[in-house]
Chains A and B, each alone.
Chain A
């Protein structure tokens, strides 16, 4: 039987489990050096999010390792025998690489990362940050940014995947853009990541949404089923919303929702569509329909959507539906706009409101 009320906390109980929990709580905080962490934080502040570094690095390493392995399997070393000196062998290998035919479908070489399972590094823009980047004040990190600039300049490496990022972190976004453009010319996972990062760089640092859109379009043209395609489609949708292209948002979101993988972010897509209908197209009834579809999501999007469903029905003059929507909203355990919803409900329930409609 599941108890309906909060049970006593384990750490407050007597006995070995209570003691274990109390001891563990202390040990979880052991070894944490706030001063050292602050120094690292200062060095880090103002940088691009870590995913800007790690994901391209991983992609680059994967691409490099794959190309090495492919080279290994194509190596005709067994036929050359032990007489061939290593240097001569490498010359032969280089010569062969220039004339080598494309790998046959039955090649024993391992699959390149582009054919990898859709284990998308979903950290790319799936968290709160990417959606919020546009609203973040640009000077928020100013107090901490100075040490970073010095630090990142010093840390510029010769590794291609990291170079693109180090340019941006050192403030040379244009060079970073050129670097990503060069990387995007390949046909591997690195190119996929480069195109995605290129779009983000143009959108967030260079302030060129059209160019960002062009990078995302190129991604979808070259890698329609790529590892990051869902993320790219959603980023494109967000960009179109910011650019105020309402009809394109609706078309792109229809396409996204029609994809099996699109259901993963269906609530967010319906929420964006609701915003477009509410603000760009001034169609509150359609907005209410979209918000209602998004409201089934349990998180913050669902909460906002449930509240805006009531607001939209109210704007559309549908008092009954608005009342029902606010009623449903007030029953949500995670309702963030309780007071506002109650005020709207009271206003809608008053006789004057009833007569008015």
Chain B
């Protein structure tokens, strides 16, 4: 059976001292870890399409998983990459719950919930989010990880579950759709 540790051999650990303190049960270290990684996780979840009203649940679940399995975390893995994996799982979960809620609403004839971003109309985030919503899941993941999270193709491949060449192909098409959605297709293609 797969243990979490078996999948955590990605690259160098960022802060072994902090991790060791967390594993030893140091509450201050847990808090430091949360303070460092919470904005990364929450912002990444938003980019993956998690709505602001779902964000608390999703990030809390990510950190529950993180805290639960941290003692099995091997020193040769990069915590941030693992965090991305946990976020991916939660983003999928949020999407499924949304679909389930929509189904329930349809069954019982209620109005469907209105998805809202809770950001002002016309802000950069709102424009980007609308463009990202036009992409399929695979393309969206690759685009977000490459353009906004700054990961390399080699780092993205295991997260996307595909070869590096596929990462570049997806990125290529994702950028086309993204730029079309923004209405600046020609600028990016040039």
Which A positions have Cβ atoms within 8 angstroms of B? 2-7, 9-11, 15-17, 20-21, 23-32, 34, 37-38, 40-41, 44-45, 47, 49-51, 54, 58, 61-62, 65, 69, 110-111, 113, 116-117, 119, 121-123, 127-129, 131-132, 134-137, 140-144, 238, 241-242, 271-272, 275, 298-301, 303-304, 333-334, 336-337
Contact = CB atoms under 8 A, between A and B. Distances in A.
A273 B175 CA distance: 41
Given A21-B128, A41-B34, A119-B99, A6 B158 contact: no
A34 B67 contact: no
15 contacts: A2-B172, A6-B152, A24-B125, A28-B46, A38-B34, A116-B103, A121-B97, A135-B72, A137-B72, A143-B26, A144-B27, A242-B1, A300-B2, A300-B6, A336-B6
B154 to A, nearest CB: 8
A45 B46 contact: no
B3 A135 contact: yes
A23 B96 contact: no
A137 B89 CA distance: 21
Nearest to A298: B161
B164 to A, nearest CB: 5
B135 interface: no
Given A16-B187, A17-B184, A28-B125, A128 B89 contact: yes
Given A10-B188, A121-B96, A336-B9, 5 more contacts: A24-B128, A37-B34, A37-B42, A37-B59, A65-B108
B157 interface: yes
Contacts of B9: 336-337
Nearest to A2: B172
A3 B30 CA distance: 43
A67 to B, nearest CB: 12
Contacts of B187: 15-17
A21 B147 contact: yes
Contacts of A5: 168
B35 interface: yes
A23 B154 CA distance: 26
A302 B6 CA distance: 12
B67 A122 contact: no
A37 B60 CA distance: 8
B175 to A, nearest CB: 8
A122 to B, nearest CB: 6
> Which 3 A-B residue pairs are closest in the complex by CB-CB distance?
A23-B124, A27-B125, A24-B128
B38 A34 contact: yes
A295 to B, nearest CB: 13
A45 B2 contact: no
Nearest to B24: A143
Contacts of B56: 37, 40
Interface of B: 1-4, 6-7, 9-10, 25-27, 30-31, 34-35, 38-39, 42-43, 46-47, 52, 56-57, 59-61, 63-65, 67-72, 85-86, 89, 92-93, 96-97, 99-101, 103-104, 107-108, 119, 123-125, 127-129, 146-148, 150, 152-154, 157-158, 161-165, 168-169, 171-172, 175, 179, 182, 184, 187-188
A215 B103 CA distance: 28
Contacts of B99: 119
A136 B67 CA distance: 10
A38 B41 CA distance: 13
A116 B97 contact: no
A16 B93 contact: no
Nearest to B52: A31
Contacts of B104: 58, 61-62
Contacts of B34: 34, 37-38, 41
Contacts of A142: 25
Contacts of B89: 127-128
A21 B148 contact: yes
B93 to A, nearest CB: 4
B39 A123 contact: no
A300 B59 contact: no
A326 to B, nearest CB: 17
B2 A304 contact: yes
B1 A272 contact: yes
A123 B90 CA distance: 9
Contacts of A300: 2, 6-7
Contacts of A49: 61, 64
B150 A9 contact: yes
A3 B69 contact: no
